[in-house]
Structure 1
Amino acid sequence: MAAVKFAINYSTPHFGVDPDGIVAYAQHAEDCGFEALYVPEHIALHRGAKIGPVDLPPSLPYGDPLDCLAFVAAATRRILLGTAVLLLPYHHPVVLAKRLATIDVLSKGRMRLLTVGVGALPGEARAAGVDFSTRGRRADEAIDVLRLLWAGGEDGADFHGEFFDFDGLFSFPRPHGGASLPIHVGGSSRAAARRAGRRGDGYFPGGVLTPQQRRDQLDLARATAVEAGRDAERLECTRWGSIDMSAEDVERLAEQGATRVVVTPTAADPARRRDEMSAFAERFALPR
């Protein structure tokens, strides 16, 4: 089948912490031509945790996403590294700036699909020592701190905010090539859309939203970008898709503004997951 003529990049996420499994999955995704591997995050779960209608069993094995991505980077050559999502309010941005830049340098510039969110579980915030009601403001400051440290300067960086405060700080290494890492914002709320417009390089809405709500959220992100004096046309939009989606499905997403689609194999058996990924790659003629 001929390649679909839309500016859509295809990526795939991974769940779990089996070392052989994650390496095999990442290498196969790379061989198939997928753009990126995404890893999710939960700091800690508790009984009764749920996001919307989805229950989260407390024994789910969520590995640290950045450790997992560094592990994958050593076993791959091309595939980009992403998070969906990194729970930004539960990380100190000074430490996080160093970790992300280090992965980007060691992977030769592949830590390029960082997607951050604010979290939806009050119990998880308490476990991390964060006031749940402040997580949005903390995330905004953290994005500013990350960008400030990556930009650097001869006199170091100064920051005086509500949550973070420092003078004359230097953070090396800088990301590969010396440029700031892109930061995408995930979340389905209007606050997330506004955050993406004000501070993000991309928007990754999740959750159960209608097509009209998704259009409204992207319009809000772009309008907020214009209000902030930013170029709204440069704001990328990532969407979830299905492993069996058709060219017509992709066309609909592209018409809604999507520039990237993340798909998840549905099979539990590793061999069948590989088959699903191979079939998808062949159907859309992914570049290898």
Structure 2
Amino acid sequence: MRFAVSYSTPYFGVDPDRMAGYARHAEECGFEAFYVPEHIAVYPGATVGTHEIPPALPYADPLDCLAFVAAATHRILLGTGVLLVPYHHPVVLAKRLATVDVLSKGRMRLLTVGLGTLPGEAKAVGVDFGTRGRRADEAIDVVRLLWEGGEEGVSFAGEFFAFENLCSFPKPLGTRHLPVHVGGSSRAAARRAGRRGDGYFPGGMLMPDERALQWDLVRSTAIGAGRDPDALDYTRWGSIEMSADAVEAFAEQGVTRIVVSATSADPAEQRDQLSSFAERFGLG
């Protein structure tokens, strides 16, 4: 089992010293990766399920945050949980992700993409909310095509994106393309992970039966697409207080990575929580 941490900029803030300190301590504790979330824009009345998002929460840009964290650390991998891929142009996104990967010496390796749930956010960036699934599929295909292409250029003609003989450099460090994990809480997300993903990172509010069904759907969809289901990562949210028995139960469900977060906004308490978790599971 691998263990990672999440840093919630909306609740922990974007003070650079606090963010860097959290990331450095997580690295020192032996956590594998550092995740940050994304909302491009929120608005009064925006809700996720039954939860209303306070409009003044500071959702910092995740890739800018990860580039900053990379400069403050040495080993910890960089992840998004999740990047709202339909709201990014994939030609620009391919360049940004490869740049962060090169500058971090190959650590931009836990990109997780999702669709977003706020219609007003989609409208703000000029995206038809109903098309965001198809846009996400194309975007994943485009970034991979650009990463794999050489000096001769690559071409693409899709429903949303089109170009001819395009070159995108720099490339991700030492690999043809960065892993792309798929996040979400729907069966459509599970199928997308099976068809296109390098892993699945479902939401935290699913009932056990639905969660198991979705992971089975990821695997069966991968098999149907001629892909190896055993090559896919299965990432789940966990609690900073979780026990060894809880981790073992996750492992029995096929989980390969658990992402936890400190529950306190106080930096000293955050460090204590991360240290306690690391000691409990022998990280480092």
Which of the five TM-score ranges fits, normalised by the shorter chain?
over 0.9
> Is 1:192 matched up with 2:189?
yes
Between the aligned partners of 2:24 and 2:84, the Cα distance in structure 1 is 26
Greater CA drift, 180-189 or 8-17: 8-17
Q: Secondary structure at the match of 1:74?
A: helix
Matched residue count: 280
Which of 36, 47, 54 is 1:50 aligned to?
Answer: 47
AA aligned opposite 1:11 = A
Which of 62, 66, 85 is 1:65 aligned to?
Answer: 62
Aligned partners of 1:188 and 1:209 also within 8 Å:
yes
Please give the residue correspondences for 1:48-197 in structure 2 after superposition, counting only pairs within 5 Å: 48-197=45-194
Question: 2:5 matched to which residue of 1?
Answer: 12
- TM-score where L is the length of structure 2: 0.97
Between the aligned partners of 1:76 and 1:190, the Cα distance in structure 2 is 36
Between the aligned partners of 2:30 and 2:50, the Cα distance in structure 1 is 33
Between the aligned partners of 1:160 and 1:11, the Cα distance in structure 2 is 37
> Is 1:32 matched up with 2:29?
yes
> Is 1:281 matched up with 2:278?
yes
Aligned-pair CA distance for 1:66: 0.2
AA aligned opposite 1:219 = D
Aligned-pair CA distance for 1:191: 0.5
Aligned partners of 1:238 and 1:258 also within 8 Å:
yes
* Partner deviation per Cα, 1:139-186 (whole Å, 9 max, x = no partner): 000000011001113421110000000010000000001321000000
Between the aligned partners of 1:76 and 1:147, the Cα distance in structure 2 is 27
Q: Which runs of 5+ in 1 are unaligned?
A: 1-7
* Partner deviation per Cα, 1:92-130 (whole Å, 9 max, x = no partner): 000000000000000000000000000000010001110
* Partner deviation per Cα, 1:6-34 (whole Å, 9 max, x = no partner): xx110001122111110000000000000
Between the aligned partners of 2:259 and 2:175, the Cα distance in structure 1 is 28
- TM-score where L is the length of structure 1: 0.96
Identity of aligned residues (%): 70
Q: Secondary structure at the match of 1:242?
A: coil
Aligned-pair CA distance for 1:264: 1.0
Between the aligned partners of 2:18 and 2:46, the Cα distance in structure 1 is 27
Which of 188, 202, 205 is 1:208 aligned to?
Answer: 205
Q: Which runs of 5+ in 2 are unaligned?
A: none
